[in-house]
Amino acid sequence: MFMEQWIQSLRRRIQILQDRSLLRQLRHDSVHLDFSSNDYLALNQNGVIAEMLRDLVQSDDKIRSIGSTGSRLIRGHYEIFERVEAEFAAFTGTEAATLFHSGYAANTGVIPTVVDRRDIIFCDRLCHASLLDGIRLSGARRYYFEHNNLNDLEAKLKRHGGSQRNWIITESIFSMDGDSPDLQRMTRLAAAHNAL
């Protein structure tokens, strides 16, 4: 039930943006003079690198660049990105996919987009800094539970969880220690406390 309500709230937020003409479109211009690139050394135009990549993807004639050159919204969007995302969505059985160039970009982009200041986040104390940055950027209230301590998480959910949207953020494998949370129990806790 919570998931359905959350999806409906996302759809309403998207509709508001659409009604205000605030949704942006990715574009690819094949002919341009580039003043907005991060490709300072013009490596995306390097013939040797381009030839290697073309061989790697079996001479796909639609690849004309070997780097994004900048933000996809500004100047770094190419058709192949859409193709890769569509293939990934098909592979995972989802409606769509967005791929990010790094985990940091994903965490600081996605979390503040889907979480807002009215929400509450419960986060493992040892989560990666990029997750913590994404949480901070969201403006949501946050409570940190002791590392992999689901009893502490449950106590905090009981004490601080409420009618707001509650989020539990952790990692599947903590790279510094190599340990993992009990995701099955965590999922049961989330369901019991109306959290994602």
- Say if residues 138 and 117 touch (Cβ distance below 8 Å): yes
Kindly list the domain boundaries of the chain, sorted by start residue: 24-99, 102-192
Question: How many whole angstroms separate alpha carbon 135 and alpha carbon 119?
Answer: 11
Sheet holding 166-169, edge to edge: 141-145, 120-124, 166-169
pLDDT tens per residue across span 66-119: 666 777 888 777 777 888 899 899 999 999 999 888 889 999 999 999 999 999
Sign of CA dihedral 138, 120, 99, 10: negative
Chosen CATH of 102-192 out of 3.30.559.10, 3.30.530.20, 3.40.640.10, 3.40.50.2000? 3.40.640.10
pLDDT tens per residue across span 121-179: 999 999 999 999 999 999 999 999 999 999 999 999 999 987 789 999 999 989 878 89
Question: How many whole angstroms separate alpha carbon 98 and alpha carbon 41?
Answer: 27
pTM of the complete model: 0.69
